[in-house]
Copies of this chain bind each other. A is one copy, B any other.
Amino acid sequence: MGERQVYTVTFLPAGRTCRVQAGTELLKAARKAGLHVNASCGGAGVCGKCQVIIEKGSVRGGKSEKIPAAFSAQGYRQACRAQVCEDVVVRIPEASGQRQGGLGTALPQRNHARQHVFDMDELKQEGGWSPSVEKVCIELAPPAGHDNRADAGRLLQGLAAQYNRRCELKSLAFLQKLGKALRQEDFQATATLEVPVNLAARYRLLDIQPGYQCHRNFGLAFDIGTTTIYGVLIDLETGRFLAEASCYNPQMSYGEDVISRIICAEKPDGLDLMQRLVNEAMNQLITEMLDKASPSERIGQQPVTRDEINSVSIAGNTTMTHLLLRLDPSSIRRSPYVPTTTFFPSFRAREVGLNLSDTCASLVYPAISSYVGGDIVAGVMASGMYSSEQLTLFIDVGTNAEIVIGNRDWLACAACSAGPAFEGGGITHGIRAVEGAISDFSLNPETLEPMNVTEGDKAPIGICGSGLLIIVATLFEHGILNQSGKFHPLGHPRIREGKSGHEYVLAWKDECAAAHDIVINEVDIENFIRAKGAIFAGITTVLQQVGLQVSDLEQIILAGGFGSYIDLDSAMTVGLLPEVDPEMILYLGNGSLTGSWMCELSNHIRRDVVEVVRKMTSFELSEVPGFKDQYMASMFLPHTDLSLFPGAAVRNNV
């Protein structure tokens, strides 16, 4: 395509400018300049509310039947349909949301967390680089009359002498290959060794190949999410990702959350079905990654084969892990919420149902409890908080929210029954962050006209988690919602009495792609407050248990998809996150997947994880006296105790 031209767009009356590529719509340019333009339809060209006036220069498109010919002649265009093709000066009229005489209604700059970057070079330098499976090439003296040791003993002694590796041989398949493998290249062969997690233990012999084969050593890492399964194919010698792939967890057809999956597994043959579904998906991802992985100078021209994958690391929540391993999950969903196991011995990948070689090892991340799973432990490993001096709060917000607080000296965790509000669950028009989901929002406080920003700039179909957070925060900031999450009766057509209390209309039926008006009502807001309240109460309760306060926190790490989209100011405004310097907040991304591939690359991580799990104190919040009070106190915007949110108190005059 080549590089596109870049032009300057100047917005009046605010006088703000921004530079955008040719072809960018004016609505997007306004957003980039931080300006509100009414847009109920999310930029889909439907509502006609984003009309702007071209005062200098020209644009491509933007005329429509929503704009009478006379206006069109005066330069009126629909901002969502008009594309920049040269430097241009654009006026946002009052009718489109611009506050008269002011500098424009600023669309708040969204303050997302900085990404936490895992430094692979640092890991290498610190001696942490040590794949969990290594290949070593060994040259043995061929047997002779005076030295007719058995093949196995000869190999073990050679590995000890040449590589200082004390090995154990547990695999019958290995022994079955050994004789021929050694003799094919005159007793030069490459051994595949599983590196022990415990330094005092022996290396385990996994495989033997004739001749030199050290350059081909591959691993897989998986994150088994309730919704999505991610996989990475890794060159274990360089740490390079050779391919990535992901797919929906096919168990989704049997329920969106872990509880419905467990219920399904309790039916006759249900557990087998759940296991088969996740196995099939993983095997499909493996095939896809092997197809994608391209040869390179280092590994040679031969494609990577499944037999060359020597280890697999897997992280997932406790239920996903139980279903993968066909472990009975039924006690997970019933008080007192007991899983079959929280630690998982090193299985063969075949045992886990993966279509890989007999000798391929698999590590499944240990869990802490039924609701603080291996995905969280993996995230903690990825975050590095367990080796940091800083007192860190780790939060993963998904269907439930899990929090971990601590540093290199201690760690404590809890699962917060946040409910699925942040994934669109329990919200009248809540949806996942699919195309058409309202994910950002601003408001003209006088007209109450919204600017709905949707995923893919499609006509709105619902509200996703990040949008919900911003909508509630914006409505609260502008005094439209009170501290209890109730609407002030303003007598405005966009705020009306609905079936679930008052509601705010985000988009009228004819402006959106839904068969109804898209609204947010007081029950939605109550559910939202419950969710954020449960999380915040979890944080304060765990801190209280260890004798600390929110103000002691030195770092916050957000994991999970939601963490990357979350607007930090909104999160503090509503009391989801503690009020801290946003610079203290880092976004980890898919911590579960990161922790998983880190295990592949660094046996130090595997060693540390044992320590981390041992060290972690798990709080069952419902059993902690005081949690209920914390929860009740958190059931307000932002909180009963405004001393915890001085900024919000000032901003909102509450």
Contacts and interface: CB of A to CB of B under 8 A. Distances in A.
Interface string A320-331: 000001111011
Contacts of A148: 336-338, 369-370, 620
Contact of A152 (B145, B146, B340): B340
A172 B351 contact: yes
A145 B325 contact: no
A150 B339 contact: yes
Contact of A179 (B150, B330, B346): B330
Contacts of A147: 336
A411 B330 CA distance: 57
Interface string A12-31: 00000000000000000000
A343 interface: yes
Interface in A55-100: none
Nearest to A173: B351
Given A152-B342, A153-B342, A620-B148, A175 B325 contact: yes
Nearest to A144: B336
Interface residues of A, number: 48
B336 A145 contact: yes
Contact of A180 (B150, B169, B180, B328): B328
A340 B325 CA distance: 34
B151 A340 contact: yes
Contacts of A338: 143, 148-151
Contacts of A352: 172
A252 interface: no
A175 B343 CA distance: 10
A622 interface: yes
A178 interface: yes
Contact of A325 (B172, B327, B330): B172
B169 A331 contact: no
B370 A178 contact: no
Interface in A143-173: 143-153, 168-172
Contact of A620 (B145, B150, B339, B341): B145
A410 interface: no
Contacts of A171: 345
A337 to B, nearest CB: 6
Q: Which of A330, A345, A346, A369 has the largest number of chain B CB atoms within 10 A?
A: A345
A623 interface: yes
Given A330-B179, A336-B144, A169 B345 contact: yes
Nearest to A318: B150
Nearest to A346: B170
Interface string A341-368: 1110111000110000000000000010
A374 to B, nearest CB: 12
A326 B620 CA distance: 52
A340 B145 contact: no
A369 B338 CA distance: 51
A643 interface: no
Nearest to A343: B152
A328 to B, nearest CB: 4
A513 B336 CA distance: 81
Contacts of A176: 325-328
A175 B323 CA distance: 12
A335 interface: yes
A510 B366 CA distance: 82
A329 to B, nearest CB: 8
A341 B146 contact: no
Contacts of A327: 175-176, 178-179
Nearest to A155: B341
B622 A150 contact: no
A331 to B, nearest CB: 6
A152 B481 CA distance: 49
A325 B152 CA distance: 14
Contacts of A178: 327-328, 340-341
Q: Which of A146, A339, A340, A347 has the largest number of chain B CB atoms within 10 A?
A: A340
Q: Which of A150, A346, A623 has the largest number of chain B CB atoms within 10 A?
A: A150
A445 to B, nearest CB: 48
Contacts of A149: 338
Contacts of A336: 143-145, 147-148
Given A336-B145, A623-B145, A150 B341 contact: yes
A578 to B, nearest CB: 28
A146 to B, nearest CB: 6
Contacts of A620: 145, 148
B345 A150 contact: no
Nearest to A325: B172
A620 B623 CA distance: 71
Interface string A118-152: 00000000000000000000000001111111111
A175 B145 contact: no
B341 A175 contact: yes
A347 B622 CA distance: 45
Contacts of A623: 145-146
A542 B183 CA distance: 32
Contacts of A175: 325, 327, 340-341
17 contacts: A145-B623, A146-B623, A147-B336, A148-B336, A148-B338, A148-B369, A148-B370, A148-B620, A150-B367, A151-B341, A152-B341, A169-B345, A170-B346, A172-B345, A175-B341, A176-B327, A179-B340
Given A150-B369, A169-B345, A172-B352, 5 more contacts: A145-B335, A145-B623, A152-B341, A176-B325, A178-B328
| CB-CB nearest 8 A-B residue pairs | A152-B341, A179-B328, A148-B336, A143-B338, A150-B342, A170-B345, A179-B340, A150-B339
